[in-house]
């Protein structure tokens, strides 16, 4: 695995964003991962907008089968706690789900793929790519 896809990148895939699709075609599926946190965020969005499940539900199921789905674990939580404390000391917090993704990426040495670089760039030592 090399890449941890943020929820907005998965959403871009659903919406067939050309640049995101081009990057995804160039990466072996075994190099792609999403977090169980992203699963929660996508499921939440589909529950809030049932038309999204109708439109993207099968694509979402297929996507989950094609990538690694990482369960948030103790080491991810340790890294998340450290990042949260560091950012709190600086007065530059980020959202709780982004914290969990950052912690997961740091614990597993993955690159976060996101277009939310404003928040994620606050996290020291986190490698980012924006595929848009």
Task: List the one residue out of 58, 99, 54, 55 whose CA is nearest residue 80.
Answer: 99
62 labelled binding-site residue: no
Task: List the one residue out of 91, 89, 128, 83 whose CA is nearest residue 107.
Answer: 83
Residue 88: Cβ within 10 Å count: 10
Paired tokens of 21: 């699709």
**Contact, 106 vs 79, CB < 8 A?**
yes
98 labelled binding-site residue: yes
Task: List the one residue out of 35, 44, 9 whose CA is nearest residue 103.
Answer: 35
Q: How many residues are listed for the chain in this entry?
A: 132
Annotated binding site: 6, 98
Annotated binding site for Mg(2+): 6, 98
């Amino acid at each position: 695995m090399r890449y941890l896809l943020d929820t907005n990148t998965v959403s871009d895939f659903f919406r067939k964003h050309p640049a995101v699709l081009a990057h995804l075609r160039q990466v072996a599926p075994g190099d792609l991962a999403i977090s169980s946190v992203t699963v929660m965020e996508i499921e939440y969005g589909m529950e809030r907008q049932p038309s999204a499940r109708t439109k993207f539900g099968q694509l979402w199921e297929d996507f989950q089968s094609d990538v690694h789905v990482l369960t948030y674990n103790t080491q991810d939580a340790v890294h998340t706690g450290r990042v949260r404390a560091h950012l709190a000391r600086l007065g530059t917090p980020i959202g709780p789900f982004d914290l969990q993704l950052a912690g997961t990426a740091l614990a597993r040495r993955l690159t976060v793929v996101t277009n939310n670089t404003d928040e994620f760039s606050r996290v020291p030592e986190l490698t980012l790519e924006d595929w848009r």
